[in-house]
Amino acid sequence: MEDKYKKLLGSINLVEPPKGLEQGVLTYVLTRVSTSQKRSLRIKAFAFGSSTLASFGLSLWAIIYLIESIKVSGFSQYLSLIFSENGAALAYWRELSLSLAESLPIFGLIIFFASIGFFIWSLGKISPPAPSYFKRGFPKVSS
């Protein structure tokens, strides 16, 4: 059985590839990989760039919404009592703190901080990575 395989494999003529073929295939594969990486980089830059712009617009809207909700809720009037010169804020600090907590525009604050967080996250995704000295810490100053 082995003799038949040796005879069969021995009768096959091995063909040498042309000399420039290896270099041509390597060049082709490397250019395809480079093209694919450039394409994915453009897609990521467009996606995170547009999300950064959208989150910036959302942050502006959230700031306006927060300011308006602070005006409507009366939070600023209660907050101004703390900075008044009479001792009413100190005398009634429990009631004042409960009034401040009740008039605090929670929904506006949630939208504001979420939009700022999304803006910082998307800005971090589009910006280049930090240099290595930020990752290791600053060098020690010898005295």
Q: How many whole angstroms separate alpha carbon 92 and alpha carbon 57?
A: 41
- Mean predicted lDDT score pLDDT of the chain: 82
Residue located via tokens 């990486």: 37
Residue 48 banded pLDDT, cuts 50, 70, 90: confident
Helical packing angle, 106-126 and 21-73, nearest 10°: 160
pLDDT of residue 29: 81
Q: Which residues contact 119 (CB under 8 A, 6 or more apart)?
A: 52, 55, 56, 58, 59
pTM over 0.75: no
